[in-house]
A and B are shown apart, each in its own frame.
Chain A
Amino acid sequence: MHGLINKSLQSFLSDSFGRSEWADIARESGVSQILGPDGFEPMQHYDDALTEAVLQAAVTALKRPRECLLEDLGTYLISNERLEPLRRLLRFGGVSFTDFLYSLDDLQGRSRLAVPELDLPELSVDEAGPGQFSLTCRAGPAGFGFVMVGILRALADDYGALAVLEHQGRDPSTTDEVIVIEVHDPAFHAGRRFDLAVEAR
């Protein structure tokens, strides 16, 4: 998996639970032995097994369900100041949360434009009715949908929209993960503008 994802996971664990917890997880998962004290580098590529080892070590060390950790990771990606550029990039998707949901179809293409090696899962959005969406994550690592739930929850907050999200589980035959989204989005109806002029902090 790409270093940007691994490094995000590392920052999330270290920022949210403390450096010493991260040090334990890094040792338990083999990261510190394989990669040294700095851990992951954002612009390198790592074996998926190593990412999985970190996740499992974190689940054991922090005594938290895997789904909760992944969802918190998603929230962290949007709400932590350190990752402000990522939030800005995601908000290029649209001027309202609903616009953003529509733009998720393009997320894979957009991320490829920015970092060609960053192999994000294929996302597709279906609109079932007004304010009713379903998001399908295809060919992603197990649990990617939970990261998306965290991202969507934090972004809805950022946009000032109300969103109820439900992860429908992973289809064992297709490995698809489906998230059902119910949105109340005043900005979408008000046509609020996304101010492009704000420079990345």
Chain B
Amino acid sequence: MDGDLRHHGFHLSAAALGQLMPMFLWLDSAGTICGSGDTLQKLMGPQALGQPLSAIFNLRRPRGLETAQDLTRAQRLRMTLRAAPGTAFKGIAVPLQGDAGVLVNLSFGYAVRDAVRDHGLSDTDFAATDLAIELLYLAEAKSAVMTEVNKMAARLQGAKALAEEQALTDALTGLGNRRAMEQAMASLLSGARGFALIHLDLDYFKQVNDTLGHAAGDHVLTQIADVLRASVRGADLVARVGGDEFVILLAGVRDQAPIERVGRQILGRMRRPILFDGQICRVAVSMGAVVGPDHKTARISAEDLMAQADLALYASKKAGRARLTFVRADGTLHELAVSEPPP
């Protein structure tokens, strides 16, 4: 290559060179600016001609400069305009034949968008072969697409929040959640079929969480959910209404016999130990049950009904856990079922 250029070098007018490289810079060997392409001229201002390179540019790489030839030894030049807004360039320098100095070609690199805006450049300021226009096009296309994507993400976020708000399922156990229980209770309270409510609380759950970890705790909850589901009819609602609290609503149930049956089913199933990683998770279920009003009895609010069931639940706990206490119509408490032997 070198040999070719020395022996068959060609002459090129500054105007022709400027068409190929509108951001070329010609320095003499002392580093004085002797000429430039039209676009670079526009950026430097008319007073740049005849000035030393360092008066117009802040050289960042290479740092020190003895002669213009030093530029040609750098792999990549980096420099910024001294004048505001300090437009950044990257470039490359090659020596000219004889004593003609150095030819530098500059480009904006990643700063092209800012440079175009700051200096009001148009497509004719770039060489026809320069990919700057394509790059600007891509940048603009990307931001247009990103705008659409962001709008879509915002819409999905809103839809997700709404869906969560309207969700009726407990994500961990697949049972109903508190909202599902409240809706079902409201509908049962307004109907005339009557229903029974069992409030359940897991005993020793905190110890499982503390000693075996949250994964074990989650496992226990899903196992309990299976036990509860298996112990009721398909149409009955089982809901997880708190961390280790559950409510069962038995539609159409008005007396204690079916409640007792469900309680015994649950206590029976709970005798099978729940294993997690070979470790026994020791938990028990305490229950309090109450029969809701039907059309023959006075109206009662959901809160009052829950409060009654809570009293029975508290009695179950106090009596030694793993049992079911029932609130009779006269308000007295009666133990319906107990786990034999208690765990």
Contacts and interface: CB of A to CB of B under 8 A. Distances in A.
A85 B143 contact: yes
A197 B148 contact: no
Q: B interface, by DSSP: helix, strand, loop or mixed? A: helix
Nearest to B145: A115
B148 A194 contact: no
Nearest to B149: A43
A45 to B, nearest CB: 13
B147 A95 contact: no
B149 to A, nearest CB: 6
B6 interface: no
Contacts of A85: 140, 143-144, 147
Contacts of A199: 117
Interface residues of B, number: 25
Contacts of B128: none
Nearest to A191: B124
A200 B144 contact: yes
A104 to B, nearest CB: 15
Interface string A77-110: 0000000011011001001000000000000001
Contacts of A197: 116-117, 119-122
B295 interface: no
Contact of B124 (A7, A95, A115): A95
Contacts of B116: 196-197
Contacts of A194: 122-123
Interface in A46-78: none
B83 interface: no
Interface string B162-175: 00000000000000
A196 B137 CA distance: 10
Contacts of B151: 42
Contact of B138 (A43, A86, A113, A200): A113
B122 A193 contact: yes
Contacts of A171: none
A43 B140 contact: no
Contacts of B120: 195, 197
Given A38-B155, A41-B152, A110 B123 contact: no
Interface string A18-47: 000000000000000000001001110000
A110 to B, nearest CB: 7
A4 interface: yes
A114 interface: yes
B140 A95 contact: no
A179 to B, nearest CB: 24
Contacts of A92: 133, 136-137, 140
Contacts, number: 65
Contacts of B123: 95, 193-194, 196
B124 A193 contact: yes
B230 interface: no
Given A88-B140, A197-B117, A199-B117, A114 B124 contact: no
B122 A114 contact: no
B125 to A, nearest CB: 9
B36 to A, nearest CB: 20
B15 interface: no
Given A41-B152, A196-B122, A114 B142 contact: yes
Interface in A176-196: 193-196
Interface in B81-116: 116
A92 B116 CA distance: 14
A113 B148 contact: no
Nearest to B132: A196
Contact of A4 (B133, B136, B148): B148
B274 to A, nearest CB: 42
Interface of A: 4, 7, 38, 41-43, 85-86, 88-89, 92, 95, 110, 113-115, 193-197, 199-200
Given A4-B148, A92-B137, A113-B134, 19 more contacts: A38-B155, A42-B148, A85-B140, A85-B144, A95-B124, A110-B137, A113-B138, A113-B141, A114-B141, A115-B145, A193-B123, A194-B123, A195-B120, A195-B122, A196-B122, A196-B136, A197-B116, A197-B117, A197-B121
30 contacts: A42-B148, A42-B151, A42-B152, A43-B145, A43-B148, A43-B152, A85-B143, A85-B144, A86-B144, A89-B140, A89-B144, A92-B133, A92-B140, A95-B123, A113-B138, A114-B137, A114-B138, A114-B141, A114-B142, A114-B144, A115-B145, A193-B123, A193-B124, A196-B116, A197-B116, A197-B119, A197-B120, A199-B117, A200-B140, A200-B144
